[in-house]
Amino acid sequence: MIWFKMRAGNGLLFTKLNIEYMKNIFILLGVAAISFSCENQDIKFEDYKNNAVYFPYQTPLRTLILGDEVIGDNTIDLEHAFSVGVAIGGMFENLSDREVMIELAPELIDSVVSENGDTLEILPSAYYDATFDKITIPKGGFFGKLRVNLNDAFFNDPKTTGLHYVLPLRIIDTDADSILSGLALVPDPDPRVVENWEIPPQNYTLFGIKYINPFHGVYLLRGLRTSSVDTLVYSERFLTDNGMVELSTKTLDESVMSIIGGNKTGGKFSALLSFNESNKTITVSQTDASSVVINGSGKYFTKDDPESESYTDQKHRTIYLDYTYEDGGTTYQVNDSLVFIDTGVIFEEFAFSVLESNK
């Protein structure tokens, strides 16, 4: 026995601790020491019984971002190109290259109507350079890509600034175990109609494509508007406390400004900004929808120019405008400054319906 003497009140308390209890403590410490001294072993997981290839998204809407201020890498966008990808699942490690055979499937876009009622079309072959026959998923990876190069015809089409053109693609074969082709509820199912399926297929994609020009985005807005009837100052002490204005893409070098004169909004008051990238000047005029006569000019600076403004210790694209507009018989003189915040681009999937006669 091991005896411990402890003070308790005015007397001495003798407590004994069984030696077997001490032995158990030493055994546990020994096991812990052995455990920590052992070399770590890699955990091995078994693959699923079958692997399968598929398109990750059936209705993605890819936006090419042509500006110089983005979150992430838009190198391929600036090269006027994008990638279509396939994936493989059902394994923890891909030990070999996987070939996925694909084809253009124009019938998949037949009678497809977007959420806003626009009949979608297949991207014209004259707009791009690509061969849709095979995508390779490289050894060690789970995703393979095929590059599509766009040409001037794409950017000269006004419909390419929004959802209108789609690349309909289908997986037709692979050297992987299987293709995610879904589980149908009806004979002769339409892959695009979710009600036809218990498990929707992922062997096809309707890949939407659009672009925004280098000036598209949301900007902080400050300015001064004067006239014979009033003066309006819209400028806060701190840049980031100011209101915002949106520039939306019309063409590669034209954007529509949603607010003029600090507080005039709507189609009647929208302004068209035409950018000249060779000398960084801007022409201000009214849009086709505007019933207000607008005339003026401006200049812009990229984030790399010393003249550009900054907030949070970073420089951003800056636009200065000097223009007039007439409203209700009064002429207004406006000086605006715009400082870029963000493109507003997010990952998108589009909703659609198939005309009833084609279901």
CA distance 164 to 120: 5
Give the model confidence (pLDDT) of 8-45 as tens digits.
Answer: 343 333 334 444 444 454 444 444 444 444 444 554 54
Q: Order of strands, edge to edge, in the sheet holding 81-89?
A: 128-129, 143-150, 81-89, 52-54, 178-179
Q: Which amino acid is at 107?
A: E
Q: Considering only the top CATH level, what class is 217-342?
A: mainly beta
The pLDDT of 320-343, averaged and rounded, is 97
Ordered by start, the domain boundaries in the chain are 2-37, 52-213+347-358, 217-342
Radius of gyration of the chain (CA): 32
Q: Could you tell me if 65 and 77 are in contact, meaning their C-beta atoms sit under 8 angstroms apart? A: yes
SS3 assignment, position 194 = helix
Q: Which amino acid is at 270?
A: S
Give the model confidence (pLDDT) of 214-227 as tens digits.
Answer: 999 999 999 999 99
- Percent of the chain predicted with pLDDT > 70: 86
CATH topology classification for 52-213+347-358: Immunoglobulin-like (2.60.40)
152 torsion bin: left (phi>0), alpha (psi -120 to 50), beta (else): alpha
**Across 40-49, 52-61, 276-285, 291-300, least confident range:** 40-49
The pLDDT of 177-187, averaged and rounded, is 97
Copy the structure tokens of residue 297: 């000019």
Between vectors from CA 63 to CA 60 and to CA 69, what angle results, nearest 5°? 140
Which residue's entry shows tokens 């005029």? 285
The pLDDT of 54-61, averaged and rounded, is 98
The pLDDT of 77-90, averaged and rounded, is 98
Can you say how many angstroms the Cα of residue 183 is from the centroid of all Cα atoms in its chain? 30
The Cα-based distances of 172 to 32, 83, 108, 185, 190 in angstroms read 56, 19, 14, 21, 16
Which residue's entry shows tokens 């507080």? 263
Residue 267's pLDDT band (boundaries 50, 70, 90)?
Answer: confident
Q: Which amino acid is at 321?
A: L
Name 52's bridge partners: 89, 178
Copy the structure tokens of residue 173: 């074969």
* pTM metric for this prediction: 0.84
